[in-house]
Each structure stands twice: as C-alpha cells, then as structure tokens.
C-alpha cells in the first residue's frame, strides 16, 4: 500500500500512547489513566483518550502544525511500574505487539520505541531483540528504575548501572539502537504521608521529582564505566537533559578531584559522556535560552526536538519552535536531522 508522503517537518520522539487492552496491567502509578479507578476525573479521562488515540486527533494536530513524524512509546511507567516480573514481561510484550500493529497502519508518519521489563536481564535482552529485529522498532523506552517487590507492601527499584545489567548494555550496543531514559512517578505506596515521596507531595511529577530521580540514575550510569565497556551505547534523555547540562561544570569539578577519582569506575567525567553517549530532547521544556545553552555545552548534534504529547500540546511546541532564534542549519539538525541519524529513521534528511 502506498502512503501519502507529508511535507518535511519536525520529528518528535518522546510521544506517549496507552494500549487500551493492556491498561489493566499497569501498576498503581498508572491509576490516573484508568477511569474505573481513582483516576475518574474528567481531566484524567480526557488524557487517557488522548493517549489511546493515534490516527485521528493526534494525526490531525500533526498535520495542522507541521509535525512530520512521531516515535511513539508506552506512557510512563510502563513495565517499570510493575513489580511482578511475569506481569511486567507480559505488559511489555503486549504493548509492543499492539504498537507495532498501530505503526503498520501508517509507517510514513509513525515509528515506535519498545517497552521491556528490566526485572530479568535475559528477558530484557530477548524482548529488545524481538522488538527491534522482528517488529521493526527504532529503540527502547525505559522509565527509570524497575519496580521490584521487597516483600509485603515494600517496593524497591533496580537501577541499571550495576554489573547485573552489563549483558543488557552489550546487547543494546550490538543492536545499534538508542535507549530513551524517561522518568516515572514513585510507586503509590511511596506516595503515602510519612514516606520518602509522600511529604511533600507537591513536588511529585514533572515539576521536580521526575528530573531529580532520573538525574541520579543518569549520573550513576555515567560513573559506572558502562559507556567505557560499551562505547557504542547511546542514551536519549528528555526535558533538556533532566537538569544535568546546567550542573555539568560543578559535577565534573568535584568528580575530577583526587578523592573521587580514586573511587570512580569510569574513565572520564560526566561531560565526556554527555557529548559522546547521551543526547537530550526538548520534550516538555520549551525554553529557548536553555536550549541555546545546551547546544553550546553539549553540541548541536546532541540536541533533538520533542514535544511530550499529550502531556504538552503539539500547537504549543510547534509555535515555540517557530520562534526559536537559532541558525537555520542548527534548527534543521535539532528538528529532524539528528533524529534521523541517531534512530536510523527511514526518512529523507
């Protein structure tokens, strides 16, 4: 079947969806997307409908505002929010099958990033290979720490900087696809009064907690030596780098002091990996001065456009992008060229 080719426009790569048939799999932190539970407010119902829509209002908004292509991924927390290993594995596989089928309906406008459960490294590698080599996905979306049960009501989280996950990173390097690291809400049990995230609740989510939690995970990955062992691994981080680009000088300054260099496992400092192995996107952070700073700090080739739809609107993102005052050759790279290169997208440069 021939699909109509749209005009060249922006490429957005952190764009969320929700598999309606798989919504019941999502853990407590996805309750806002389940109208039959506590998330029955009108706002949450509308959000759930927007997450479930791909080919109607989403596509109409893309056409209206000049978005050429979207990389779609299961909304946070996805499989990372499920503490039961078997359920998390099934959640990821079902979401990937559904998303691949949706992309096949209009591959000229949509591609996908795969979900994986990170409970078991062998399972994560197997699903990543299946999603990339059989389903045609262009990378992975991993939502910060993997929720794990610690018995009773206690829930912990696995980070991926440990030796346990070296086979995962090895497989990612072999597959040659990026891993998008995205934040997530803490488990619902950790949001109760008196818990670490329960007081104060007002910092939860995108305003503060998201970037605070994920930035620690990213610093841990950089300092673990994983990028030295597997230098081909590429990470993508949204929201203009979760605050890290603006702290790199201070982070490097202390990381390079003798007391720290004796302890660290990595060969280089944080700036090295943020200019070699990590790219950032504009998702949900439409700040021109901050973007300009990031292009100077990391290099234009490390900066990519994204929207964070439906949590932010296509219209707002595109209007901002039209107003961004950067050289046109830099805007072309950020808007589309870098994404085509990094994700190996089947689009004309």
203 or 32, higher pLDDT: 203
Does the residue 53 lie in any domain? yes
Model confidence pLDDT, tens digit, residues 66-110? 999 999 999 999 999 999 999 999 999 999 999 999 999 999 999
Residue 28 has pLDDT above 60, yes or no: no
The residues annotated as belonging to the active site are 308
pLDDT band at 35 (very low <50, low <70, confident <90, very high): very low
Model confidence pLDDT, tens digit, residues 214-253? 999 999 999 999 999 999 999 999 999 999 999 999 999 9
pLDDT at 198: 58
pLDDT band at 32 (very low <50, low <70, confident <90, very high): very low
CA 145 to chain centre: 12
CB neighbours of residue 164 within 10 Å = 13
Does the residue 349 lie in any domain? no
pLDDT band at 10 (very low <50, low <70, confident <90, very high): very high
Prediction pTM value: 0.93
- Counting the structural domains of the chain, the total is 1
Does the residue 5 lie in any domain? no
State which residues form the domain around 113: 10-342
Does the residue 4 lie in any domain? no
Does the residue 3 lie in any domain? no
pLDDT at 188: 65
Letter string b/e over residues 223-248, b meaning 16 or more CB atoms within 10 A of that residue's CB: bbbbbeebeebbbbbbbbbbbbbeeb
Model confidence pLDDT, tens digit, residues 134-178? 999 999 999 999 999 766 556 678 999 999 999 999 999 999 999
pLDDT at 26: 52
The fraction of the chain above a pLDDT of 90, given in percent, is 75
Mean pLDDT of the chain: 90
pLDDT band at 59 (very low <50, low <70, confident <90, very high): very high
Are residues 303 and 294 in contact, defined by beta-carbon separation less than 8 angstroms?
A: yes
> Any idea what the CATH number is for the domain that residue 332 is in?
3.20.20.140
Does the residue 152 lie in any domain? yes
Model confidence pLDDT, tens digit, residues 65-75? 999 999 999 99
pLDDT at 49: 86
Residue 295 has pLDDT above 80, yes or no: yes
- The three-state DSSP-derived secondary structure of 162-224 is CHHHHHHHHHHHHHCCCEEECCCCCCHHHHCCCCCCCCCHHHCCCCCHHHHHHHHHHHHHHHC
Does the residue 2 lie in any domain? no
Angle between helix axes 121-129 and 85-104 (nearest 10 degrees) is: 10
């Amino acid at each position: 079947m021939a699909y109509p080719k749209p005009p060249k426009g922006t490429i957005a790569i952190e764009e969320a969806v929700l598999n309606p048939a798989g919504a019941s799999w999502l853990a407590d932190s996805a309750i806002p997307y389940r109208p039959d539970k506590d998330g029955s407010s009108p706002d949450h119902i509308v959000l759930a409908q927007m997450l479930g829509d791909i080919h109607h209002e989403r596509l109409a908004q893309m056409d209206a505002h000049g978005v050429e292509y979207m990389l779609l991924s299961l909304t946070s927390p996805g499989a990372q929010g499920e503490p039961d290993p078997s359920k998390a594995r099934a959640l990821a596989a079902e979401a990937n099958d559904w998303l691949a089928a949706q992309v096949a309906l209009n591959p000229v406008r949509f591609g996908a990033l795969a979900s994986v459960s990170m409970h078991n490294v062998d399972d994560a590698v197997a699903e990543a290979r299946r999603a990339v080599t059989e389903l045609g996905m262009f990378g992975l979306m991993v939502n910060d720490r993997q929720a794990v049960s610690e018995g009773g009501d206690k829930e912990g989280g696995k980070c991926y900087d440990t030796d346990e996950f070296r086979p995962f990173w090895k497989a990612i390097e072999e597959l040659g696809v990026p891993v998008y690291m995205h934040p997530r809400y803490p488990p619902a049990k950790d949001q109760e009064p008196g818990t670490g995230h329960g007081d104060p609740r007002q910092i939860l989510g995108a305003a503060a907690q998201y970037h605070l939690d994920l930035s620690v995970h990213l610093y841990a990955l950089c300092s673990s030596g994983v990028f030295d062992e597997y230098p081909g691994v590429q990470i993508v981080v949204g929201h203009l780098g979760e605050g890290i680009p603006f702290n790199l000088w201070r982070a490097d300054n202390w990381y390079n002091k003798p007391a720290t260099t004796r302890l660290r496992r990595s060969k280089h400092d944080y700036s090295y990996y943020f200019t070699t192995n990590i790219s950032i996107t504009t998702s949900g952070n439409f700040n021109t001065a901050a973007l300009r700073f990031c292009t100077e700090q990391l290099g234009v080739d490390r900066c990519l456009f994204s929207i964070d739809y439906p949590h932010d609107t296509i219209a707002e993102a595109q209007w901002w992008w039209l107003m961004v005052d950067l050289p046109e050759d830099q805007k072309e790279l950020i808007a589309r060229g870098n994404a085509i290169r990094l994700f190996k997208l089947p689009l004309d440069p």
